[in-house]
């Protein structure tokens, strides 16, 4: 057989790069981006279909119960029948089916729809669902959807599921339904769980520590410069954090508190907010011929700035603010990068006279605030006056 002669001049030139993957980084990153985007869309589709399924099942059973077509015994038989048809399907017990009924009835009610509309959340996630994939909030109940063709589902005048429910997953919704007493609370915690990507146990803690009060409470603990430089700060920073997980003794020094925070950094950041990234403790700043130490230094991803936290194991004193402002000025002049915003300062103290805090902050020329830490849970009443601001923030400020 005659061999075909190949003209090497007609072949594309191949640049030898050896085994160096960095030579293909851009192309590899493009492929990884494609994979990630489609995985995210697939996860979101499963999440949406699961909640839609739970909503429709709840609506169907609710209709049968309300019209006295079914009784309690039929719901029990339904749970057993589902198990027979799908032995591997989990989460379809008698009690869970009733939770689906409650899910539908609670969130299809006129009062909840009015609350959603009042806070302007009726179109939440409708324009950019794929970019706001919420946490599953634990396992989402699933069942084989191919068993019953969609065209065989009996129409019962189904109320459309509110978009805001897609902010978080089924397990989180069950927790919210159990523990929240008002529609405002329910709306806040499903939005908060979605924005912070809270898993079930994290949402449990947020409810236990009354995150709604801490986030939406009075912002007299923030300086005017803080509010002006960072308008979102009112719904980003808590005015009270709980450190009961540290097991602090009756008497301790600031060094002990700092060491416990370092030892429990994951818990501390979850309490402060997931946008915090830890940089350093006792961070050294050289000014003139002297060296000063910032207790804790963080970086805030959303605000793109450093956050200096000064710890005080006693009551707030106005002199604490002067010390913190000095640290902020040094950080901004010596360490802040051109793409970063002005540094924020937080005094985290054990106690404070709010009138003294207000007077001190009125003259503060830096973005600062005072927050309290509690060694034990001492949850007060829910404050709702800033829910409008929070809803506007989560509608615009996509993570």
> What is the CB neighbour count within 10 angstroms for residue 163?
16
Opening angle at CA 201, ends 195 and 202, nearest 5: 35
305-315 vs 290-300, strand pairing mode: antiparallel
Opening angle at CA 374, ends 184 and 356, nearest 5: 90
15: phi then psi, degrees, rounded to nearest 5: -90, 120
Q: Are 363 and 381 in contact (CB under 8 A)?
A: no
Tokens representing 316 are 């707030």
Per-residue CA distances from 144 to 37, 82, 83, 85, 380 (Å): 25, 10, 12, 10, 44
Query: Among 364, 397, 352, 308, which residue's Cα sits nearest to residue 218?
Result: 352
Tokens representing 71 are 């009784």
Q: Which long-range contacts does 242-250 make (Cβ < 8 Å, 24+ apart)?
A: 242/209, 242/271, 242/373, 242/374, 242/376, 242/377, 243/268, 243/271, 243/373, 243/374, 243/375, 244/374, 244/375, 244/376, 244/377, 246/375, 248/375
Residues in the chain: 399
* The pLDDT of residue 64: 93
* The pLDDT of residue 9: 53
Q: Helix (H, G, I), strand (E, B), or coil: what is residue 128?
A: coil
pTM for this entry: 0.76
Architecture of domain 221-382: 3-Layer(aba) Sandwich (3.40)
* The pLDDT of residue 68: 92
Q: Are 348 and 374 in contact (CB under 8 A)?
A: no
* The pLDDT of residue 34: 86
* The pLDDT of residue 376: 80
Match 């851009």 to its residue by tokens.
26
> What is the CB neighbour count within 10 angstroms for residue 149?
8
209: phi then psi, degrees, rounded to nearest 5: -95, 5
* The pLDDT of residue 338: 94
Q: What does the pLDDT profile of the chain (399 residues) look like in tens digits?
A: 555 555 555 555 545 555 677 778 888 888 888 888 888 778 778 888 999 999 999 999 999 999 999 999 999 999 999 989 888 878 789 999 999 999 999 999 999 999 999 999 988 876 544 344 455 554 444 444 434 444 444 455 568 899 999 999 999 999 999 999 999 999 999 999 999 999 999 999 999 988 998 888 766 899 999 999 999 898 899 999 999 888 889 899 999 999 999 999 999 999 999 999 999 999 999 999 899 999 999 999 999 999 999 999 999 999 999 999 999 999 999 999 999 999 999 999 999 999 999 999 998 999 999 999 998 875 544 444 578 888 888 887 644
Tokens representing 282 are 């006792």
Alpha-carbon distance of 124 to 141, in angstroms, equals: 23
- Domain locations in the chain as residue ranges: 25-208, 221-382
* The pLDDT of residue 389: 83
């Amino acid at each position: 057989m005659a061999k075909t002669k190949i003209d090497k001049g007609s072949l594309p030139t191949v640049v030898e790069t050896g085994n160096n993957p960095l030579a293909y980084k851009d192309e590899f990153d493009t492929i990884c981006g494609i994979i990630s985007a489609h995985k995210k869309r697939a996860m979101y589709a499963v999440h949406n279909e699961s909640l839609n399924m739970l909503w429709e099942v709840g609506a169907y059973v609710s209709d049968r119960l309300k019209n006295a077509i079914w009784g309690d015994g039929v719901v029990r038989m339904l749970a057993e029948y589902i198990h027979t048809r799908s032995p591997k399907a989990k989460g379809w017990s008698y009690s869970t089916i009733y939770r689906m009924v409650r899910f539908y009835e609670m969130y299809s009610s006129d009062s909840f729809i009015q609350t959603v509309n009042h806070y302007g959340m009726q179109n939440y996630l409708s324009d950019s669902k794929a970019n706001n994939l919420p946490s599953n909030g634990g396992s989402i109940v699933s069942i084989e959807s191919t068993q019953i063709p969609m065209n065989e589902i009996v129409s019962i005048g189904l109320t459309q599921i509110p978009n805001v429910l897609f902010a978080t997953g089924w397990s989180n919704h069950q927790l919210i339904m159990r523990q929240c007493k008002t529609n405002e609370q329910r709306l806040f915690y499903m939005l908060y769980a979605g924005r912070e990507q809270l898993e079930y146990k994290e949402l449990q803690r947020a409810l236990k520590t009354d995150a709604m009060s801490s986030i939406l409470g009075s912002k007299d603990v923030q300086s005017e410069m803080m509010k002006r430089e960072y308008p979102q700060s009112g719904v980003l920073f808590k005015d009270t954090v709980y450190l009961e997980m540290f097991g602090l003794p009756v008497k301790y020094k600031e060094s002990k508190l700092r060491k416990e925070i370092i030892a429990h950094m994951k818990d501390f950041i979850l309490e402060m907010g997931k946008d915090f990234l830890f940089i350093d403790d006792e961070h050294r700043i050289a000014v003139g011929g002297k060296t000063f130490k910032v207790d804790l230094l963080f970086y805030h991803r959303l605000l793109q700035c450093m956050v200096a936290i000064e710890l005080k194991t006693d009551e707030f004193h106005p002199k604490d603010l002067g010390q913190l402002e000095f640290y902020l000025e040094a950080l901004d002049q010596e360490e802040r990068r051109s793409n970063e915003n002005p540094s924020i300062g937080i005094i985290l103290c054990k106690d404070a006279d709010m009138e003294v805090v207000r007077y001190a902050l009125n003259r503060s020329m830096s973005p600062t605030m005072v927050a309290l830490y509690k060694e034990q849970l001492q949850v007060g009443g829910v404050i709702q006056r800033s829910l409008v601001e929070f809803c506007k923030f989560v509608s615009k400020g996509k993570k």
